[in-house]
């Protein structure tokens, strides 16, 4: 097969692009910034990518200097016909590199939350069933069984056994700290046993989201996080409503705050949790702004809670 010069240039460009992608993904893995884009469970697939891309780049680069009788002819894959379309294709591959390098890393904010639809209940919680079961179990007195100093929470549905265990652990805490490792689970557990937790003190950190529908008087806003399932594009924004006491200044949209307050019993027909804020402190955006529903970190956080309880 007689090779002209031009395909060799293309192999060179392709090798450069592959090498660029390998470096980019490698840098993301090395600097731990993958969590900006991926959830832990998809992240682990990424670790081999820099190596594979690098190998592909090296062997594609070899094609630029390979002897003409090289048996890999690549004839089943034709490069695009016109120069313009070639440039377009290379431009496409430069795009992720360019965007990733040139634009600063910023976490998703309230405008993304508004576009996706901010949820005032925890997306993990399968609303219909667990709520119905929870309330019926509550009415029939199954839910609450006083046992010793703590309360035993009986799971209203088989799925919610985990949440019930968590609720039990959380109930023993003097101040319920919403741990980012189990952010969604904690809020789900509290929401599931809303009546039980009414009046308890809770502390959580999140970004400020001001909806058009709430906060007409400026004393109401939401604090929440994005729950990332596989990648940040499928993140679900959710959180709790915060009611400020009269006279307290409302924080800015998108600010990161730590709210301490009591859980309100009467939510006035509104879905989700409402916190009567006692203290709202502005904090720095955490290194990992998103929350995940990861089984490993969940187990770790729960065992940490258990240890804490045993120590007390």
Partner 1 sequence: MNTTAVLKRFSLILPFCVLAACLVVILPKLHNMAGNEYLSTFKIYFLSIFLEAVPFLLFGALASSLFHLLIPEDFLGRRWPKNPLAGIAAACLLGAVFPICECGMIPLVKRMVQKGMPAYAAAVFLLSGPVVNPIVFGATAIAFEGHPEMVYARLGAALFVAVSAGFILSAAVRSNPLKHTLAGHSGHLHDEIKLFRRNYPLRRKTAALFQHAADDFLDAGKYLLLGCLLTAALQTFVARDTLAAAGAGPVSSYALMMGLGFVLSLCSTSDAFVASTFMHTFSHGALLSFLVLGPMLDFKNVLMLLSAFKARFVIALVLIVPPLVFTACFLVERYFIT
Residue list 54-113, contact with partner 1 (CB under 8 A):
55-60, 62-63, 71-78, 83, 87, 89, 91-93, 95-96, 99-100, 102-104, 106-109, 111-112
| Residue 150 CB, nearest approach to partner 1 (Å) | 26
| Residue 117 CB, nearest approach to partner 1 (Å) | 5
Q: Which of 26, 40, 64, 123 binds partner 1 (CB under 8 A)?
A: 123
Stretch that binds partner 1, among 48-56, 139-147, 188-196, 272-280 (CB under 8 A): 48-56
Give the whole-angstrom CA distance, residue 130 versus residue 154. 12
Instruction: Please name the residues in contact with 198: beta carbons below 8 A apart, sequence gap of 6 or more.
Output: 263, 264, 265
| Residue 206 CB, nearest approach to partner 1 (Å) | 18
Pinpoint the alpha helices (H) of 47-198.
Answer: 49-65, 83-102, 110-116, 127-139, 161-171, 183-192, 194-197
Give the whole-angstrom CA distance, residue 21 versus residue 81. 24
Q: Which of 236, 257, 263, 277 binds partner 1 (CB under 8 A)?
A: 236
| Residue 192 CB, nearest approach to partner 1 (Å) | 12
Instruction: Please name the residues in contact with 256: beta carbons below 8 A apart, sequence gap of 6 or more.
Output: 205, 206, 207, 208, 282, 283, 284, 285, 286
* Residue entry with tokens 């840098």: 27
Give the H or E element holding residue 243: strand 236-243
Give the whole-angstrom CA distance, residue 214 versus residue 221. 7
User: Cα Rg for the chain, rounded, in angstroms?
Assistant: 26
Interface with partner 1, residue 119, by CB under 8 A = yes
Residue closer to partner 1 by CB (options 79, 281) is: 79
Q: Which of 3, 23, 26, 46 binds partner 1 (CB under 8 A)?
A: 46
Interface with partner 1, residue 246, by CB under 8 A = no
Give the whole-angstrom CA distance, residue 164 versus residue 152. 8
Tell me the β-bridge partners of 11: none
Q: Which of 179, 205, 232, 241 binds partner 1 (CB under 8 A)?
A: 232
* Residue entry with tokens 């709790």: 240
Interface with partner 1, residue 37, by CB under 8 A = yes
Q: Which two tokens stand for residue 149?
A: 């100093």
Give the whole-angstrom CA distance, residue 83 versus residue 85. 6
Interface with partner 1, residue 281, by CB under 8 A = no
Q: Count the neighbouring beta carbons within 10 Å of the beta carbon of residue 171.
A: 18
Interface with partner 1, residue 298, by CB under 8 A = no
Residue closer to partner 1 by CB (options 51, 306) is: 51
Q: Which of 20, 120, 130, 166 binds partner 1 (CB under 8 A)?
A: 130
Residue closer to partner 1 by CB (options 115, 306) is: 115
| Residue 230 CB, nearest approach to partner 1 (Å) | 4
| Residue 36 CB, nearest approach to partner 1 (Å) | 7
With contact defined as beta carbons under 8 Å apart, do 160 and 125 qualify? no
> Which residues between 151 and 210 bind partner 1 (CB under 8 A)?
157, 159
Residue closer to partner 1 by CB (options 79, 248) is: 79
């Amino acid at each position: 097969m007689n090779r002209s010069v031009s395909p060799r240039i293309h192999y060179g460009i392709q090798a450069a692009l592959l090498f660029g992608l390998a470096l980019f993904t490698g840098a993301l893995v090395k600097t731990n910034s993958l969590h900006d884009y991926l959830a832990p469970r998809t992240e682990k697939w990424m670790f081999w990518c820099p190596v594979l891309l690098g190998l592909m780049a090296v062997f594609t680069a070899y094609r630029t200097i390979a002897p003409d009788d090289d048996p890999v002819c690549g004839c089943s894959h034709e490069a695009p016909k016109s120069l313009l379309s070639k440039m377009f294709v290379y431009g496409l591959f430069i795009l992720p590199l360019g965007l990733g390098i040139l634009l600063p890393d910023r976490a998703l904010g309230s405008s993304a939350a508004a576009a996706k639809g901010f949820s005032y209940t925890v997306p993990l919680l399968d609303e219909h069933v667990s709520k119905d079961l929870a309330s019926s179990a509550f009415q029939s007195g199954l839910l609450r069984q006083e046992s010793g100093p703590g309360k035993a929470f009986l799971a209203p549905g088989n799925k919610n056994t985990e949440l019930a265990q968590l609720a039990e652990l959380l109930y023993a805490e003097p101040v319920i700290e919403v741990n980012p490792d189990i952010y969604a689970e904690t809020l789900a557990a509290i929401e599931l046993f809303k009546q039980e937790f009414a009046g308890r003190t809770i502390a959580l950190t999140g970004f400020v989201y001001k909806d058009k529908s709430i906060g007409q008087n400026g004393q109401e806003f939401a604090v929440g996080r994005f729950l990332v399932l596989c990648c940040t594009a499928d993140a679900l924004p959710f959180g709790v409503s915060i009611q400020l006491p009269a006279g307290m200044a409302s924080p800015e949209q998108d600010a990161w705050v730590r709210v301490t307050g009591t859980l309100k019993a009467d939510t006035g027909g509104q879905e989700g949790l409402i916190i009567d804020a006692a203290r709202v402190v502005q904090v720095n955006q955490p290194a990992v702004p998103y929350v995940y529903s990861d089984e490993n970190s969940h187990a770790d956080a729960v065992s940490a809670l258990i240890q804490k309880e045993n120590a007390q």
